[in-house]
Amino acid sequence: MITTTGLTKVYRDRSRGRDVVALDGVDLHVREGEVYGVIGQSGAGKSSLIRCVNLLERPTSGTVTVDGLDLTALGGGRGPRAGQRLRAARSRIGMVFQHFNLLSSRTVRDNVELPLEILGVQGRERTRKALELLDLVGLADKAGSYPSQLSGGQKQRVGIARALAGDPKVLLSDEATSALDPETTRSILQLLRDLNRELGLTVLLITHEMDVVKQICDSAALMERGRIVESGTLDDLLATPGSELATALFPVSGEASGDDRTVVDITFHGDTAAQPVISQLSRTYNIDISILGAAMDTVGGKQVGRMRIELPGRFEDNVVPIGFLREQGLQVDVAGRPAAGSAAAESQLVKEGAK
């Protein structure tokens, strides 16, 4: 549904007389009907990315394709027709902003009607559509109120209703919950997920909060310095050795109590989350296991978690127990050892032990 290829955005810093690269060859693919989160720290390029997706910012180079249409090929020429084609394409892309951007002099209903006015929808139909959208976001009783009379969460619901006015196939969310308290954030995220399911919307959201990704995203990408350094479905990321996103989503900590100890990070997802594998490991190999840290949550309706444990003995002494954990379908990473190197070393040690 959304694809960017080699997307680059360079800004000119006139005060310092140099160029600033906000996006550096970004390749992104968002499938139809999914909720896709782009996460990163301030300055990573997230806002530039989402503004380039709907061409509020025109990319320096690269392409943006939404629903099979190359937006970067629109609006580049002169004359009214070029602009009309781009405006028509944008009407199929809804945008929700961090600071709501509501007009204080207009009622809630009038704010939702604004994009319909721009699209040329006539009065009665415009009002009908606005009231229908306000009911959809749970604000039917606030149609005659003004933004100053609403809470932050209610203002964001108005912003979402306004973004849906053009019957978009894609909804973009630019830090839509970062100005809200935790409880309101959860309700807005649930609304976005409900709209995704009920309307078949494809949702692309940017955030710096891992909890947002955990609560509603199907897939995610990590941005650093204008580049996407890691991306995939949450299930795939959790099953990827050394995944930065998986580690950030479920952080665990704890240091080995001595040099003759092995620290292992275990990721549980799917059916493995409900299995008593740690107690089985302890009984099977008659070893004492220390749990250094654990994090468990629900992602996409599935229980997912990570645990850091300490095994007695060095790595070479624990190849078989670690192999047992992997045989149970768990993602296992040995702290302090490269994932590929650990797997190769374990394979060789298991072969030697079998001789």
How many angstroms separate the first and last alpha carbons of the chain? 54
Q: Is the separation of the CB atoms in 210 and 35 below 8 Å?
A: no
One domain, residues 68 and 192: yes
Q: Which of 184, 203, 238 is the last residue of a domain?
A: 238
One domain, residues 225 and 256: no
Q: Which of 238, 260, 280 is the last residue of a domain?
A: 238
One domain, residues 304 and 332: yes
Would residue 8 count as lying in a domain? Answer: yes
One domain, residues 149 and 263: no
Distance CA 80, CA 142 (A): 38
One domain, residues 103 and 209: yes
One domain, residues 51 and 193: yes
Structural domains in the chain (count): 2
One domain, residues 263 and 333: yes
Structural domain of 7: 2-238
CATH of the domain at 289: 3.30.70.260
Q: Which of 206, 238, 270 is the last residue of a domain?
A: 238
Would residue 230 count as lying in a domain? Answer: yes
One domain, residues 145 and 275: no
Would residue 244 count as lying in a domain? Answer: no
Per-residue model confidence (pLDDT) at position 355? 45
Distance CA 225, CA 57 (A): 18
Would residue 164 count as lying in a domain? Answer: yes
Would residue 243 count as lying in a domain? Answer: no
pTM: 0.84
One domain, residues 216 and 255: no
Would residue 107 count as lying in a domain? Answer: yes
Distance CA 129, CA 212 (A): 30
Tens-digit pLDDT string for the chain (355 aa): 999 999 999 998 878 778 899 999 999 999 999 999 999 988 899 999 999 998 889 999 999 999 989 999 886 555 556 567 787 788 889 999 888 889 999 999 999 999 999 888 888 999 999 999 999 999 999 999 999 999 999 999 999 999 999 899 999 999 989 888 999 999 999 999 999 999 999 999 999 888 899 889 999 999 999 999 999 998 888 778 778 888 888 788 888 888 889 999 988 876 776 788 899 999 999 999 999 988 887 776 677 888 899 999 999 999 999 999 999 888 888 887 765 444 555 555 444 444 4
One domain, residues 156 and 37: yes
Per-residue model confidence (pLDDT) at position 302? 72
Per-residue model confidence (pLDDT) at position 118? 86
One domain, residues 268 and 189: no
CATH of the domain at 69: 3.40.50.300
Per-residue model confidence (pLDDT) at position 352? 47
One domain, residues 203 and 258: no
And the tokens for 82?
């070029």
Buried b (16+ CB within 10 A) or exposed e, 47-57: bbbbbbbbbeb
